[in-house]
Amino acid sequence: MEKWLYIMIIEKSKTYNKMTKAVVERHVVNLKSLDDNGHLELGGAFKGYPGVAGMFILKAKTYEEADELCKLEPLVAEGFATYKLKALQVASRENNYLL
């Protein structure tokens, strides 16, 4: 059985540095919702990568579902960030590392 995860790379827009505490709080509410609903595998902030804020690794049934989750992220929806979404086919012991 194929297993896919979806990597959302969050890129800073020109207004990224104008975020308010309220925007960050909405971002955290979204993270909690993704986690509560079983969609968040991992997430975090990057340091030392100009223009890149962080990433989420999402669990979703399809690329399209993952894309819809990305669009709901407040940083994106409110124009403080953009994103790139990549599908990752997981290699693991269970699938003999995709052999």
What is the C-alpha separation between 70 and 87, in angstroms, rounded? Answer: 13
Rg (CA), the chain: 14
Amino acid (one-letter) located at 34: L
Which two three-digit tokens encode residue 94?
């269970």
What total of structural domains would you count in the chain? Answer: 1
pLDDT tens digits, 35-86:
999 999 999 999 999 999 999 999 999 999 999 999 999 999 999 999 999 9
Name the residue range of residue 44's domain. 4-98
pLDDT band at residue 2 under the 50/70/90 scheme: confident
Q: The pTM is what?
A: 0.94
